[in-house]
Structure 1
Amino acid sequence: MPRRILVNPVVRTLGPFVPVVLLWWLLAELDVFPGAFFVGPDTVVGEFAELMRKGVLPGYLSDSLTRLMYGVGFGLLIGLPLGFAIAMSFWARRLTWPLLLFFQAIADIAWLPIVIVWFGFSLTAVTFVIVYTIVFPLVLGIVAGVEQVPRELIRAARSLGAGRLRVFLEVIVPGALPSLASGIRTGLGYGWRALVAAEIIVGTSGVGFMMFDARRVGDVAEVFLGMIVLGVLWYATDALVLAPFERATVERWGLVRQAEAGK
């Protein structure tokens, strides 16, 4: 019976949060911290209901998700072809690898001052930061994935008469998919955090802006609510979309079975 409860998806998902919420509630009830700086779960739930009733939270969520979709769309459009173009050329890898590592090391938030100068407080500025954050993990993941494709498979395909395009589409792309899936998952995680940072600094709406504006007026409950909303949204996206995609891709191309066989 206990084992059956533990494998229940609802229990496995929500169970780890129960002690955290209880500790949070206990700290608030005992007034360990002043009420002006720390509020309990009941206050945050009340704030959630109020913002939903006024339509404020749905509007901010819609703005944040719209910006994220723009950033992800342009990030994939740039990162996918760029990644494969670099990965397929030895000289392109040699020439661009130092640049990739250099720009990968520059945090997205470091671009915000110059982005504000270029684009002002606009959707373009936020989109630029998200795209920048997504592209480099994606490109690095593709390059790593292509390098992991066994050369024997490529030579075998060519010996059977496959042309360069067919080898690329039927051997190299499928072989790189596991690393590509991991790169997309990592890039979107970075992009989500970049969105929040950009909204806090350059945004005029969105969940990040809501939290920053609440901090300005001293509404701690709204700040807590914003953090919870961000965590829940990303957890749901990762658990329902990105993790299954990555897992299915890895299992489809046999890397899990190979790893298990090698143990």
Structure 2
Amino acid sequence: MTSTASPTREKHAGRGPGRRGRGARRGLAWRLWHRCLRSGTFRTLGPFVPVVALWWLLAALEVFPESFFVGPPAVVDRLGELVEKGILPGYLSDSLTRLSYGVGFGLLIGLPLGFAVAMSRWVRRALWPILLFFQAVADIAWLPIVIVWFGFSLTTVTFVLVYTIVFPLMLSVVAGVEQVPGELVRAARSLGAGRLRVFLEVIVPGALPSVAGGIRTGLGYGWRALVAAEIIVGTSGVGFMMFDARRVGDVSQVFLGMVVLGTLWYALDALILAPFERATVERWGMVRAMEADG
């Protein structure tokens, strides 16, 4: 019995350290992975690593002709050239200027109209069919007639941007006002608050999370509409740069334009829009939680 059991024990004893070593390595790998996941830089740039790697590999293997598909090195070289010549900064400045005009006028028009439709039964009955009708008409469909009205000007691009932003924003305002608990409105009125105070201290904060989501969505639509308008009617801007590069067959500049557009929107959304929306949702969530506890 002793001679039979001894090899078995020796066999398991020999496996033990190896298994413990593999387990330790797996544990270390998991700890490193979780540490990377807690890193903001890794969460931001990590998802793009396989995309860029695949892009680079396809270009290196010449799966597509170089005249149709270029890799990251060619795009980086083109970026350096356009920045050194001042072309890209100028085009980028023009696009951001147009976007700021469109967003500013869109907010000035969309927010008051949205609250007017949401708060007034008569305004809603009068404007709701019109709102739904124009929401269904694409912004690009306006370009032919707007070009006739205003020509190839900043006004044309601004009109398209405002049109694109206003209607999603108005719908989000209406949805946000409808989500405000009626108990809070009645409680404020029972405490002697007037209509203006109820609107400013109950309705607006309650609708703000939905408004923040509408602003985020509207700006996303507006960013795409800006690029389309610059391609069709622009004489400068990132969209025009891409279209002009297509005309001369400069594929690297087209790829560069797409990278610039995606990077700018990602930065705008991550640094401004998403934190604003998250902060308003968390604040209203706290109010709702307090209401439920009460």
| From 63, 66, 78, the counterpart of 2:109 | 78
Structure 2 unaligned blocks of 5 or more:
1-31
CA contact (8 A) 1:177 1:249 kept: yes
Other-structure match for 1:69: 100
Given the alignment of the two structures, is residue 55 of structure 1 paired with residue 98 of structure 2, yes or no?
Answer: no
Tell me the secondary structure at the aligned position of residue 266 of structure 2: helix
The residue identity in structure 1 corresponding to 2:93 is S
CA contact (8 A) 1:129 1:198 kept: yes
Other-structure match for 1:204: 235
Other-structure match for 2:12: none
Other-structure match for 1:221: 252
The aligned runs of 1:126-205 (5 Å cut-off) are: 126-205=157-236
The aligned runs of 1:39-118 (5 Å cut-off) are: 39-118=70-149
Given the alignment of the two structures, is residue 243 of structure 1 paired with residue 274 of structure 2, yes or no?
Answer: yes
Q: In percent, how many aligned pairs have the same letter?
A: 81
Structure 1 unaligned blocks of 5 or more:
none
Paired with 2:253 and 2:223, the residues of 1 have a C-alpha distance of: 19
Paired with 1:257 and 1:43, the residues of 2 have a C-alpha distance of: 53
CA contact (8 A) 1:250 1:256 kept: no
The residue identity in structure 2 corresponding to 1:150 is P
**How far did residue 256 of structure 1 move?**
9.5
Paired with 2:185 and 2:264, the residues of 1 have a C-alpha distance of: 41
Aligned residue pair count: 259
Larger Rg: 2
Greater shift after overlay, 94-103 or 59-68?
Answer: 94-103
Report which structure shows greater RCO (CA 8 Å, sep ≥6).
1
Other-structure match for 1:124: 155
Paired with 2:33 and 2:209, the residues of 1 have a C-alpha distance of: 35
The root-mean-square deviation of aligned C-alpha atoms, in Å, is: 1.3
Greater shift after overlay, 232-241 or 108-117?
Answer: 108-117
1:122-176 alpha-carbon deviations (Å, 9 max, x no partner): 0000000000000001100000111111111111111111111111101111111
Paired with 1:152 and 1:11, the residues of 2 have a C-alpha distance of: 44
Tell me the secondary structure at the aligned position of residue 36 of structure 1: coil
| From 7, 10, 13, the counterpart of 2:41 | 10
Other-structure match for 2:13: none
1:38-91 alpha-carbon deviations (Å, 9 max, x no partner): 001000000000000000000000000000000000001111111111111112
